Amino acid sequence: MIRVLVAKPGLDGHDRGAKVIARALRDAGMEVVYTGLHQTPEQVVDAALSEDVDVLALSILSGAHPTLVPRIMELVKENHMDDLLVLLGGIIPEDDVDPMINLGVAKVFGPGTDTNDIVAFIRGRVEVV
Amino acid sequence: MKDWDDIAQGILKGQKRAIARGLTWIEQGRNDGKQLAQKLFPHAGNAQVIGITGAPGVGKSTLVNALTLQLRSQGLRVGILAVDPSSPFSGGAILGDRIRMQDSVMDAGVYMRSFASRGHLGGLSRATFGALTVLDAAGFDKILVETVGAGQSEVEIMQLAHTTMVVLAPGMGDDIQAIKAGILEIGQVFVVNKADRDGVDHTVRSIRSMLALASEHPAWMPPILKTVAEDGRGMKELADALENHWQHLTDKGLLERFRWGQTEHLIEQAMADIGDRLVGRARSGQEWSHWVAEVGTGTREAEHVAEELWRQEWRED
């Protein structure tokens, strides 16, 4: 069973996208922990750690990814969560994609991504016990 | 953290990551998860397990959050297990209990984990008992278990929790539903949450008259508390009531009897697991459709086929 945390770090108040993803992943047979809006990087990583998820799916629409994602990845490393797959979705400008990947994000999904592609990506990367 | 001995050591020290990984192994039903539970079992037996049940919408998660803050202010360490239903269609689940627990879970003295029921009936998940052993061994003083909240067939919590707390809210027609579900018989503490709403006294009165009818536990008269979990009202009184019940169990020497019942439940569940595995193997066997056809045309009885399949499987084991 694949377990995913869908998290909304930062201050933007729109979680329609996050909820669509959560439902799509559930319908694909995954267990999805959703923590609601306005999470700090510390809260996001604490939840991922406590819930022992395979995947951390971040949704950021506010443009704050250049500050939020580095902090989150730092905390992930501090806690030795080496086997965590981190995905980023939302509004991420083209030029920011590579820097996000360099931080350790496995893949960036932009607006209009087919949820089947996300499901397929996760299935391809997470070993199911 | 690769082997179960490392994980066990981490759990005994109360490390969040070790606890989290141990719970995953147990939930996956892995063999090292079973070894882990066995290794930890002697270290468990100190925590009060508190079950929280009640219909959806009465505010169970918010109550758990507020109660956790109260228990933390008393210096107690709190473990939380929250169970949500799995989808019967995809097997997936959305686990949303953390949303309402944000105030309390960041604390180092709190560990919270969401479980999906994974098709297990009874309002809990199959891993609950093993998970309780882990949290108990990790040194949590109080373990709060929030059930699915379907409001019916939630009786299993009674076998795992020392103290079962039934949560209701005014004006939901809950009183009648609660009687139907047999939920009133399992509560040692009753909470009427959202007590700032109209109709609280009516709800309290109906619980009281219901309890008066069922006088099977004269040794312990369940208290009925009014709370507003949203702003923390009534939490001190609730924590006291839960502590009183714990004292009652300890003073009367009832914990031994409880542990016996819990162990019986463990064996029953292990037997049911074996049954499930046999069903799975029979269904994927080559003769399955043959048996279905036989029963469907009235050639054989279902029970007869079941016995035959059971005998076959048993020989192969």
DSSP state of B87: P
Q: What is the mean pLDDT of residues A103-114?
A: 93
Reported confidence tier of residue A85, pLDDT bands at 50, 70, 90: very high
Burial group, residue B75, by CB count within 10 angstroms (0-12, 13-18, 19+): exposed
pLDDT of residue B228: 97
Q: Which residue has the higher pLDDT, B121 or B227?
A: B227
pLDDT of residue B19: 96
Contact between chains at A35 and B98 (C-beta distance less than 8 A): yes
Q: What is the mean pLDDT of residues B118-133?
A: 77
Look at residues A126, A115, A129, A102 and name the one whose alpha carbon lies nearest to residue A59.
Answer: A115
Phi-psi region of B111 (alpha: psi -120 to 50; beta: other; left: phi over 0): beta
Its domain, for residue B10, covers: 1-43
Amino acid at B198: D
In this structure, the answer to whether residues B27 and B79 fall within a common structural domain is no
Asked if residues A87 and A104 have their Cβ atoms less than 8 Å apart, the reply is no
Reported confidence tier of residue B241, pLDDT bands at 50, 70, 90: very high
SS3 B81: strand
Contact between chains at A32 and B92 (C-beta distance less than 8 A): yes
CA dihedral A93, A94, A96, A102 (to 10 degrees): 150
Q: What is the mean pLDDT of residues A24-30?
A: 96
Asked if residues A53 and A3 have their Cβ atoms less than 8 Å apart, the reply is yes
In this structure, the answer to whether residues B67 and B189 fall within a common structural domain is yes
Lookup: tokens for B216: 């099977």
User: What's chain A's average pLDDT?
Assistant: 93
Q: Where are the alpha helices (DSSP H) in chain B?
A: 4-12, 16-27, 31-40, 60-73, 102-105, 128-137, 157-160, 174-181, 200-213, 235-251, 254-284, 288-296, 302-316
pLDDT of residue A87: 97
**Domains held by chain B: number:** 3
Asked if residues B153 and B59 have their Cβ atoms less than 8 Å apart, the reply is no
In this structure, the answer to whether residues B85 and B215 fall within a common structural domain is yes
Write out pLDDT tens, residues B81-111.
Answer: 999 888 888 989 999 989 988 888 888 899 9
Reported confidence tier of residue B127, pLDDT bands at 50, 70, 90: confident
What are the extents of the domains in chain A?
Answer: 6-54+68-115
Contact between chains at B98 and A34 (C-beta distance less than 8 A): yes
Reported confidence tier of residue B181, pLDDT bands at 50, 70, 90: low
Task: State how far the Cα of A54 lies from the Cα of B192, in Å rounded to an integer.
Answer: 38
SS3 A100: helix
Q: What is the mean pLDDT of residues B217-239?
A: 92
* Sequence-ordered list of residues with C-beta below 8 angstroms from that of B37, at least 6 positions apart, any chain: B26, B130, B133, B134
In this structure, the answer to whether residues B158 and B19 fall within a common structural domain is no
Instruction: Check pLDDT > 60 for residue A99.
Output: yes
Which H or E element spans position B190? strand B189-192
pLDDT of residue A102: 96
Instruction: Please state the φ and ψ torsions of residue B125, each to the nearest 5 degrees.
Output: -115, 160
Instruction: Check pLDDT > 90 for residue B156.
Output: no
pLDDT of residue B282: 87
Considering only CB atoms, which chain A residues are within 8 Å of B105? 46-47, 50
- CATH topology for A6-54+68-115? Rossmann fold (3.40.50)
Instruction: Check pLDDT > 90 for residue B310.
Output: no
Instruction: Check pLDDT > 80 for residue A56.
Output: yes
In this structure, the answer to whether residues B245 and B107 fall within a common structural domain is yes
User: How many angstroms separate the first and last alpha carbons of chain B?
Assistant: 33
Q: Tell me if B216 is assigned to some domain.
A: yes
Of A51-55, B20-24, B275-279, the range with the lowest mean pLDDT is B275-279
| B7, B87, B94, B112, best to mutate vs chain A, most A CBs in 10 Å | B94
ipTM, 2 dp: 0.92
Q: Kindly identify which residue of chain B lies nearest to residue A27, measuring between CA atoms.
A: B90
Measure in Å the smallest separation between the Cα of B30 and chain A Cα atoms. 9
Residues of A with CB under 8 A from a CB of B: 1, 3, 22-23, 25-36, 39, 42-43, 46-47, 49-52, 79-81, 129
